[in-house]
Structure 1
Amino acid sequence: MRHALEHGYAFDPDDPRAPSLAAWERMSDEERARVVDMLPSEFELEPPEGDPHRVAASQAIETLDAYFRRTGRRVYLSSNLAVFYPDEPVFAPDLLAVLGVEPGERMKWVVNAEGKGLDLVLEVAYAGNLAKDFELNVERYARHGIPEYFIFDRRRLSLRGYRLPPADTARRARSYQPIMPQAGRFVSHVLGLELAIVGSKLRFFSGTAKLEEADELIARLGVTLDDVLARKDEAEQRAADEAKRAEEADRRAADEARRAADEARRAEAEARRASDLERQLAEALAEIERLRRN
């Protein structure tokens, strides 16, 4: 059932679309918010393509998300998010990227409300409708003005890339140009990275460095953590050994001090005894001398 709203915009639950740009511009902020709330965030998607499709898509977005978080670059990434271009059928790509926007959580991407369309789309093909990815979407995403579009064929282990040519203000029609790989790598100007198939995986490269996937990063950080903990244990053991040696040195010094004090006391006692003997000898000599005189 269609719901007629302000400025001639009608919402059809069976074919949910965002208003045209002209209708959107005539709306108030309150009317726009109402329209955005009406647009669904969930709808019937393509039939599932199994784990090979899911894993490939999730690995790609997790790898890119971790990379851009580390580099501090503001890139919004999402997967299977409802995207609404003005007066166009809704779609939900396997991976989308938008540059220069806050990467906060969203339930949908409404181009009119966000003020920006997508900058890159990546689709993973495995067991679904190949014509959709390799034909329909090539025309659709170019018409929407999405600068770059990549298709990773997980079953055939092939990769294709498309890029819009420089803007031609003389004509509104848009069409993609294929991206030619160099040494097996496809350059993405949007991401500032290169894409290539390594083994059975889609991998991303920054220069010569391969971006780590989540499990690789976790494994590397685990090894680093083990190394840090081992060095911490070694440092603590060295500190304990040094403290023990210092304690032993202090104990030896204390023993030496005690022995020196004992020696001093014995020497003092011997000196007193010697003094007493000298006094007694002097008294005896004096007594002998007195007896001689008598």
Structure 2
Amino acid sequence: MGPEERARVVESLPGEVTWDEMAMPEGDPHFGAKVRTLDVLKGYFRNQKRKVYLGAELPVYYPAERRFAPDLVAVLDTEPHERNKWVVSHEGKGLDWVLEVHFGGDRKKDAVFNVKRYAQLGIPEYFIYDRRKQRLEAYRLLSPESRRYERMLPRQGRFVSEVLGLELEVSEEKLQLWAGNALLLESAEMLARVQEKLEQVALQREEEARRREEMELRLAEETRRREETEQRLRVLQAEVEHLQRPKE
């Protein structure tokens, strides 16, 4: 099959999955966790200036496998342009990292079936965020050739993703991501902090302006008093000189 024919085949593949192929909607808690995590990851890798493709609910095609659509996927060192599907044979590589968010429905799909399937597909890391129970599970292939996951153990409450180069934990009832000691923030949180800092700077400037104004008023008052004192001294000096003049 030539490149043009291959491209036509890839283009003809559906860019969506059916209800039979994906879990039923789980509401705002499920959707919000995906959106927030995707936003945090995109912001981090954008700042790192590293090409990483990040997608949500993207139909994925592995050769001779039934398509599926994970909640979140990451593929390293890949152009991050928009896609409506991920075709492994066309892209030249499979997924590097998958996150499934669970809130309702059949948990076995994420915690049993996908653990086996994603390992067999050779996906290096797989994370499960149980939003209802506020719990995180993580799995890793110990070698590229392995097709069986080993369950990760947390380090001081955090799971280390070697693929992403980040640490993940559940804290304050949400999934948090860390780069070393730095907590990664979503866009809204970063904007809120920037706004808070701008307000603090504005207040500091107002306080500095108030202090300068008070200082200028004090200096003006001191100058006025000094001038009055000098004027009184001149008057007294003139009176003394008048009194010291010899009388005719």
TM range (shorter): 0.7 to 0.9
1:205 corresponds, among 147, 165, 178, to: 178
Per-residue CA deviation, residues 166-220 of structure 1 (Å, 9 max, x unaligned), is: 234xxxx611000111111100001100000102101001112211123211101
Q: Does 1:38 align with 2:16?
A: no
**Displacement after TM superposition at 1:234 (Å):** 8.3
Counterparts of 1:78 and 1:229, CA distance in 2: 39
Letter in 2 for 1:35: V
Q: Does 1:72 align with 2:49?
A: yes
Letter in 2 for 1:122: L
Q: Does 1:193 align with 2:193?
A: no
Q: Is the 8 A contact 2:124 2:144 kept in 1?
A: no
Correspondence for 1:114: 91
Q: Does 1:123 align with 2:97?
A: no
Counterparts of 2:4 and 2:52, CA distance in 1: 28
Q: How does 1:145-156 map to 2 (within 5 A)?
A: 145-156=122-133
Counterparts of 1:174 and 1:134, CA distance in 2: 16
Gaps of 5+ in 1: 1-26, 242-294
Counterparts of 1:183 and 1:130, CA distance in 2: 26
**Displacement after TM superposition at 1:223 (Å):** 1.7
2:80 corresponds, among 103, 117, 121, to: 103
Counterparts of 2:58 and 2:127, CA distance in 1: 17
1:52 corresponds, among 25, 29, 32, to: 29
Structure 1 window deviating more from structure 2 (41-50 vs 196-205): it is 41-50
Counterparts of 1:217 and 1:50, CA distance in 2: 25
Q: Compute the RMSD of aligned alpha carbons.
A: 2.1
- For 1:34, what is the secondary structure of its paired residue? helix
Count of aligned positions: 210
- For 1:146, what is the secondary structure of its paired residue? coil
Structure 1 stretches (4+) deviating beyond 2 angstroms?
224-235
**Displacement after TM superposition at 1:231 (Å):** 6.5
- For 2:44, what is the secondary structure of its paired residue? helix
- For 1:46, what is the secondary structure of its paired residue? coil
- For 1:58, what is the secondary structure of its paired residue? helix
Gaps of 5+ in 2: 214-248
Q: Is the 8 A contact 2:122 2:144 kept in 1?
A: no
Which has the higher relative contact order, 1 or 2, with Cα contacts under 8 A spaced 6 or more apart?
A: 2
**Displacement after TM superposition at 1:232 (Å):** 7.2
**TM-score (norm: length of structure 2):** 0.79
Q: Identical aligned pairs, as a percentage? A: 51
1:184 corresponds, among 154, 157, 160, to: 157
Counterparts of 2:64 and 2:144, CA distance in 1: 22
Counterparts of 2:90 and 2:105, CA distance in 1: 31
Structure 2 vs 1, CA of residues 124 and 165 (structure 1 numbering), >3 Å: closer, same or farther? same
Counterparts of 1:233 and 1:111, CA distance in 2: 58
Q: Is the 8 A contact 2:158 2:168 kept in 1?
A: yes
Counterparts of 2:204 and 2:23, CA distance in 1: 52
